[in-house]
Structure 1
Amino acid sequence: MIIVMWILVIIQVWVLFNGSLLPVMKHHKDGNRHANIDQPLVSILVPMRNEERHAADCIDSLKQLDYDALQIVIIDDGSTDETATILEEAIDQDPRFSVIKGTGLPEGWVGKVHACHQLSKHAQGDYYLFVDADVRLEPETVQESISLMKAETGLLSGFPNYPLKGILGHLIVPLQHVIIHLHLPVMFANFTKWPMASAAHGAFMFFRKEAYLDAGGHEAVKQSLVEDVHITRAIKKAGWNSLLVNPTRLVTCHMYESNQEVWNGFSKNIYPGIGRNPILALLLVLFYAGTFVSPVFFALHGLFTGLFVSFIPLLLTISIKISIDVMSRQKWWLGLFMPVSMLLLSALIFYSMYLGLAQKGFTWKGRTYS
């Protein structure tokens, strides 16, 4: 128990340090700060496939952006629902918007990656902002992104705020922030070009045009199910820096609407995200069980023996989760369920690994990838 307790103390210090190195995207009271100066053109690029649930709200959010020099291109990537009709009604002849039809998916490409590749061919801006249909942006998001981009920064990204729905939504979705604070050395991610220290969120990726082209664009990661991480590594290999920020004040992602979507989405990403390495998957499960689940048993032992020092590891586990949730603007009380969340994450790791090793494939948006 003593060893686990000290490990948790170190982790608590580590996540606070890591979180402090993520620049925070902030609201500004002065409105469009670039209204009276030359604005670089920003191409906002949105892939959509069967997004009738999000299309109208996405368009409304983009219309509210407090930035003038915008080109907004949306691709309808083979939707079979009412996405196209909703887009036409929501855009309502706004000249900043254009909608293109996606072509068939070529062999060897992942669907979203191919959609983003097609979008890039229509982009005319000095910056490319790729956002998903379920993302909502605050009005000052574009100018705040530009203000954080230094001359050597090729890509800015970050993990958004997530409105949570369902049991798995509350217990699993916020763990994306936990994984970043716990596993990513932010110092190396943001201040070096070391490719392995890379993270990004595919729902919000703000590229400098030159860096995107130097890295080979989405074509360079055409087979990737975790294209956000792999394109970030390509950016660094091309000689540019990437910047991971905390965008939770300005960027919201309505990522999953049901328990089934949470399960399918995470099982699609986890095993490919760790390089399809079964040994690493097992080590992660052992680490989570030994560090974040075992404190429950220590606390139960203390409850029956009166040795209340046995509660300290559980309190530290909860404290770690609460501190991350506060930094990422999630519900603080979710930290009380950290051991349960880590058990569920472990189950997802095993299931995702099973899909990969058994060659069942990973299914998303009606497509299955090996």
Structure 2
Amino acid sequence: MIIAAWIIFIFTAIQLWVVLLNAIFRQPLPPCPNDFNPLVSILIPARNEEQNIGRLLKDIQQQAWQNFEILVFNDQSTDKSAQIVEEFSKNDQRIHLINSDGLPNGWLGKNYGCYQLAQKAKGSYFLFLDADVRISGTIIAGTIAKVQQHKLGLLSIFPKQMMRSWGEYFTVPIMNFILLSLLPLVFVRLLPFSSMAAANGQFMLFDAKTYRETQPHQTFRSNKVEDISIAQYFKKNGIRIACLAGNPSISCRMYSSFNDAVNGFSKNVIMFFGNSGMLAVLFWLITTLGFIPILIALPTKLIFIYLLMLVTIRIFISLVSHQNPLKNLLLAIPQQVVLSIFIIKAFLNKSKKAYQWKGRTIS
């Protein structure tokens, strides 16, 4: 028991160290030179996004960076997504709608949409955005400057997550807890190891030349977590990448209910642990039940330090993620319970080899 307690104590200390690194090294976006103005292709795959697509198009039009084209891939939507984009295109010739002619065998919908968009894009940079993302400030100019500054093939951002229901408060912060306590994001850019790779498909900015040479969405056409796989693939091939979190100029409301969040997160939660279900379960056990060996085997002073580390970890992750620290502290136990649901659901999906997403069966 004493050995287990010390392992848990040391692991928690490492988590705290990672969290503090993410808090200290925020990787701010630099200003973009005034004389640098390449064409940016903004590529948006959309399936039944009538509630979101118009807001995102308005956000893009209000950006300081105006040398862009917007291509929207209508992935067989059954709502008014296509009509909304067509209305925007009548008043802005930079906006174009591409309608899907069907999903080929061996492809997932979003991967195929991204691939089709890239084939028609003309820009020097490809910015893939999910339709439910909101952007503001000078996010496009800043990320272009960041790519130039570090000669990146890919820059990705984890948006600030907007939450309005208790179902979201129970679920959405969990991904930030895992990411920011296990991976110092600055290492994604500084270290060459593919294990230090992360990306978020909600915001992925590619150097177009690099994209055309690698064709990542075609390479990972059937991959359910293509964003992380692309990041790892780039690292393995010596292509520099970076991943940021906590930028207030990009936000997203990923899910509007508890069930949607469970279905969504369960498809990628295992990838946060190197696609190892065993490591995912071990992480859950340590972060949820680890206090038991600590209370049994360690002296009072170390118990106090351990509890202080747990609180500090939650507070700093919340601050970096622009979330409410008090709410995340109060909901820490329910969130850990929900994490177990994510993991169990992920195992069930794997055993069934299929699950439903946006009206499609994904295998």
- 1:221 aligned onto 2:220: yes
Distance in 2 (alpha carbons) for counterparts of 1:38 and 1:11: 40
Contact 2:171 2:258 in 1 (8 A): no
Contact 1:40 1:126 in 2 (8 A): yes
Contact 2:134 2:250 in 1 (8 A): yes
Residue number in structure 2 paired with 1:256: 255
Paired residue secondary structure (2:91): coil
Contact 1:141 1:250 in 2 (8 A): yes
- 1:139 aligned onto 2:137: yes
TM-score w.r.t. the length of structure 1 is 0.87
Residue number in structure 1 paired with 2:351: 357
Distance in 1 (alpha carbons) for counterparts of 2:134 and 2:66: 18
Paired residue secondary structure (2:73): strand
- 1:52 aligned onto 2:50: yes
Task: State the 1:312 CA deviation.
Answer: 5.0
- 1:348 aligned onto 2:346: no
Q: Which amino acid aligns with 1:24?
A: P
The correspondence of residues 172-211 of structure 1 with structure 2, limited to 5 A, is 172-211=171-210
Paired residue secondary structure (2:251): strand
- 1:339 aligned onto 2:338: no
Contact 1:178 1:321 in 2 (8 A): yes
> What whole-Å deviation, never above 9, does each CA across 1:139-169 have from its counterpart, x for those lacking one?
3111100111135311011211011122231
Choose which of 314, 317, 330 in structure 1 pairs with 2:323.
330
Paired residue secondary structure (1:346): helix
- The range that moved more, 330-339 or 119-128, is 330-339
> What whole-Å deviation, never above 9, does each CA across 1:224-271 have from its counterpart, x for those lacking one?
100101111222233310011235221111211122211111122224
Residue number in structure 1 paired with 2:170: 171
Distance in 2 (alpha carbons) for counterparts of 1:244 and 1:275: 17
The correspondence of residues 68-217 of structure 1 with structure 2, limited to 5 A, is 68-149=66-147, 150=149, 152-217=151-216
Gaps (5+ residues) in structure 2? none
Contact 2:19 2:184 in 1 (8 A): no
> What whole-Å deviation, never above 9, does each CA across 1:162-188 have from its counterpart, x for those lacking one?
111222311221222222222224354
Residue number in structure 2 paired with 1:304: none
Contact 1:215 1:231 in 2 (8 A): no
Choose which of 302, 306, 310 in structure 2 pairs with 1:313.
306
Paired residue secondary structure (2:268): helix
Task: State the 1:52 CA deviation.
Answer: 1.1
Distance in 1 (alpha carbons) for counterparts of 2:316 and 2:51: 33
* Distance change >3 Å, CA 362–CA 48, structure 1 → 2: same
Please give the root-mean-square deviation of Cα atoms over the aligned residues, in Å.
Answer: 2.7
Contact 1:318 1:337 in 2 (8 A): no
- The range that moved more, 9-18 or 70-79, is 9-18
- The range that moved more, 202-211 or 79-88, is 79-88
Paired residue secondary structure (1:121): helix
Distance in 1 (alpha carbons) for counterparts of 2:308 and 2:25: 25
Contact 1:160 1:247 in 2 (8 A): yes
Contact 1:77 1:102 in 2 (8 A): yes
Contact 1:156 1:207 in 2 (8 A): yes
- 1:23 aligned onto 2:32: no
Contact 2:39 2:125 in 1 (8 A): yes
> What whole-Å deviation, never above 9, does each CA across 1:103-152 have from its counterpart, x for those lacking one?
21111111100000000011101100000001111131111001111353
Paired residue secondary structure (2:167): helix
Paired residue secondary structure (2:44): strand
Distance in 1 (alpha carbons) for counterparts of 2:280 and 2:39: 43
Contact 1:154 1:211 in 2 (8 A): yes
- The range that moved more, 210-219 or 119-128, is 210-219
Residue number in structure 2 paired with 1:303: none
Task: State the 1:314 CA deviation.
Answer: 3.6
- 1:366 aligned onto 2:359: yes
Distance in 2 (alpha carbons) for counterparts of 1:38 and 1:236: 27
* Distance change >3 Å, CA 110–CA 275, structure 1 → 2: farther
Contact 1:22 1:244 in 2 (8 A): no
The correspondence of residues 35-46 of structure 1 with structure 2, limited to 5 A, is 37-46=35-44
* Distance change >3 Å, CA 40–CA 294, structure 1 → 2: farther
Task: State the 1:9 CA deviation.
Answer: 3.4
- The range that moved more, 280-289 or 103-112, is 280-289
> What whole-Å deviation, never above 9, does each CA across 1:69-122 have from its counterpart, x for those lacking one?
101111111001111122223444211111110121111111100000000011
Contact 1:25 1:245 in 2 (8 A): no
Task: State the 1:341 CA deviation.
Answer: 1.1
